[in-house]
Each structure stands twice: as structure tokens, then as C-alpha cells.
């Protein structure tokens, strides 16, 4: 972890389909300008990921990317930020957010602290995905190989560092980072990793005649997934990129050279408190009444 130096310029991205997101983005930009920081506002949509040159041009040179939306919007923003090494500060407007740091009601005060240099950087590990000779894709959250046809399973051979692990016949295979451990992987029985972890998680979804154990892999592991002959599947990367992986296709997943820095205000241990509240293990009023909080 390292301290975050106050930026000289920021870009505020927002999801245009969320009510009040654009208005809040403009308000945050105005707050930054009032403090002597250069600030611009830009919408961030699904199509931006496929045709993002214009957005990247606006992002280059910024010292901070503020993202107004939910976790999906944060993944979109991070896909750009990791290419330029620009930190991301998330503002939640959705129902549940593990990636965002602030909420609409508190963001003015939180942004003031960020601009005053009171925040820290929390680096997040990513994975890269190779399919054949195509350029690698990079995932902050997860990689999913799932069935292409409703009602049919996929069959995937999994090898770790060249060693055969299993031949899964299942609805899908999820490979998640520590960041993605609280997403799809969690919903299908995977473990939760601390955000600073570099490990990967492999979880089969609804396996047929195979145990459904999740597996935690070292960050430097090389995972090779082969779609068996006679089966068709679809590859999803962070929910942003989708492509068919036909019979006999090979998908290789390793740790990415890219990372994403999240801007955080609380201590590292705040992750556990947020986790307990967001998963319903503790009530927020109980946390606030706990000595030392």
C-alpha cells in the first residue's frame, strides 16, 4: 500500500443510464475545479469498451479517474485505467458495491479528503487470457467459460502448470481474481480472498458427476483450459468481452502484467467490516456501536 498524492487533473466518468449519475459527475467536477484541479466529465457505456479511443484520449494525462456508478461501471473504468496506470476512485449509485469506495451521500466530503492527499492506493491483481494467436485480454474480476446452448453442459480439461487437474463437465468454469472472489465465484461457492491477494480461484459451476470444490491457485500459476471435442462454449472476460470458444479451443490464463490501483480512504482492515455488512453478517448499526469503530 502507498499514499496517494493529490492529482492535478481528473476525469469523472459516469454510467448514463443511472438516474442522477451525470448530475453527480458534474457536481464532483465542479468541486474539483473549485479546489484548483482540472476536471472533465465523460459518459462510460458498454460500447465504450469496444470503441474506446475517444475515451482514452480524454483519460490520458489525468491523475485520477472518478467512476460514478456500480461495480459494473468500475470494471469498465478499470479496463481503461490499467492501460495508463491511472488510479480509480469509485462512487456507488447501484444496490451493492464491493469495488466502490464512496456513496452519493458522502462523496463530497470523501472527494475533499482525496484531493487533500489523505487517501491511499490499493493495488489489485489482474489476469490475462490468451485464446489462440489473438491479443490477450485482461480481467480484473473474472474469466468465465460457459455453455453456449441452454440446457447443455460444457466439457473442459483443466491443467495447472502442465499437470492435469480435472476434466469438468459443468455449466461453466469460473476463474476469479481476489477482486472477483466476491462476485460470481462467491455465488457458486468459492472462497473470499483479501483484495491484496495475488492468487486465483477456480470454481466449477453445477458440475455433473464431479465434485464442486473450489481451488485457490498461486498467483504465478499457468492455467490451461481445453474445450473438449464435440462441445461449444462462450468465453466471458469481466462481462465486457464475449467470444465463442469452439470444440478443441484452448484458453490459457496467467497473472497479468497490468494492475489497477483503487483509491481508498479507510485502513486496510476496513475490508472485513464492509464485507460483513454487505453480505449481511452484521448490521451497520451494530458495527457503528462496536468499541474502536
Question: Around Cβ 119, how many Cβ atoms within 10 Å?
Answer: 24
Cα separations (Å) of 249 from 133, 182, 201, 213?
11, 28, 21, 24
pLDDT at residue 52, as a whole number: 58
Instruction: List CB contacts of 284: < 8 A, sequence separation 6 or more.
Output: 277
The continuous run of DSSP H or E covering 275 comes out as: helix 270-278
Backbone angle region of 101, left / alpha / beta, with phi > 0 → left and psi within -120 to 50 → alpha: alpha
The CATH number for 2-117, chosen from 3.40.50.800, 3.80.30.20, 3.30.2290.10, 3.40.50.10330, is 3.40.50.10330
For the cut 80, the answer to whether the pLDDT of residue 35 exceeds it is yes
pTM of the model: 0.90
Residues annotated as part of the active site: 71
For the cut 70, the answer to whether the pLDDT of residue 46 exceeds it is no
CB-CB contact of 56 with 80 (8 Å): yes
Average pLDDT estimate for 251-258 = 98
Where exactly does CATH 2.60.200.30 map onto the chain? Answer: 126-257
Where exactly does CATH 3.40.50.10330 map onto the chain? Answer: 2-117
pLDDT at residue 131, as a whole number: 95
Name the band, by pLDDT with cuts 50, 70 and 90, for residue 286.
low
| DSSP assignment of 111-163 | HHHHHTT--EEEEEEEEEEEETTSPPEEESSEEEEEESSTT--EEEEEEETTE
* Per-residue pLDDT tens over the stretch 175-195: 999 999 999 999 999 999 999
| C-alpha cell belonging to residue 24 | 453527480
Average pLDDT estimate for 124-128 = 98
The CATH number for 126-257, chosen from 3.20.20.80, 3.40.50.150, 2.60.200.30, 3.40.50.620, is 2.60.200.30
Instruction: List CB contacts of 258: < 8 A, sequence separation 6 or more.
Output: 82, 83, 126, 128, 138
How high is the mean pLDDT of the chain? Answer: 91
| C-alpha cell belonging to residue 203 | 470454481
Q: Report the C-alpha gap between 260 and 270 in whole angstroms.
A: 19
Amino acid at each position: 500500500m502507498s499514499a496517494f498524492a493529490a492529482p492535478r487533473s481528473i476525469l469523472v466518468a459516469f454510467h448514463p443510464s443511472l438516474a442522477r449519475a451525470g448530475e453527480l459527475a458534474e457536481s464532483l467536477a465542479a468541486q474539483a475545479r473549485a479546489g484548483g484541479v482540472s476536471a472533465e466529465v465523460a459518459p462510460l457505456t458498454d460500447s465504450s469498451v469496444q470503441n474506446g479511443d475517444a475515451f482514452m484520449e480524454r483519460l490520458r494525462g489525468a491523475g485520477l479517474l472518478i467512476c460514478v456508478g456500480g461495480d459494473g461501471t468500475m470494471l469498465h473504468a478499470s479496463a481503461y485505467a490499467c492501460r495508463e496506470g491511472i488510479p480509480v476512485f469509485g462512487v456507488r449509485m447501484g444496490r451493492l458495491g464491493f469495488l466502490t469506495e464512496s456513496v452519493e451521500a458522502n462523496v463530497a466530503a470523501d472527494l475533499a479528503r482525496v484531493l487533500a492527499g489523505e487517501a491511499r492506493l490499493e493495488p489489485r491483481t489482474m489476469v490475462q487470457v490468451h485464446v489462440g494467436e489473438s491479443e490477450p485480454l485482461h480481467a480484473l474480476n473474472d474469466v468465465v467459460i460457459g455453455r453456449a446452448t441452454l440446457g447443455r453442459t460444457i466439457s473442459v480439461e483443466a491443467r495447472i502448470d502442465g499437470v492435469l487437474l480435472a476434466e469438468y463437465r459443468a455449466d461453466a468454469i469460473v476463474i476469479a481474481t481476489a477482486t472477483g472472489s466476491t462476485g460470481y465465484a462467491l455465488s457458486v461457492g468459492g472462497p473470499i480472498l483479501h483484495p491484496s491477494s495475488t492468487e486465483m480461484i477456480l470454481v466449477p459451476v453445477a458440475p455433473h458427476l464431479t465434485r464442486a470444490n473450489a481451488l485457490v491457485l498461486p498467483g504465478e500459476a499457468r492455467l490451461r483450459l481445453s474445450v473438449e471435442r464435440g462441445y461449444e462454449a462462450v468465453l466471458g472476460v469481466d462481462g465486457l468481452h464475449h467470444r465463442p470458444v469452439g470444440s478443441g479451443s484452448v484458453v490459457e490464463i496467467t497473472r497479468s502484467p497490468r494492475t489497477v490501483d483503487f483509491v481508498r480512504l479507510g485502513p486496510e482492515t476496513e475490508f472485513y467490516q464492509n464485507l460483513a455488512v454487505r453480505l449481511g453478517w452484521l448490521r451497520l448499526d451494530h458495527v457503528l456501536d462496536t468499541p474502536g469503530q
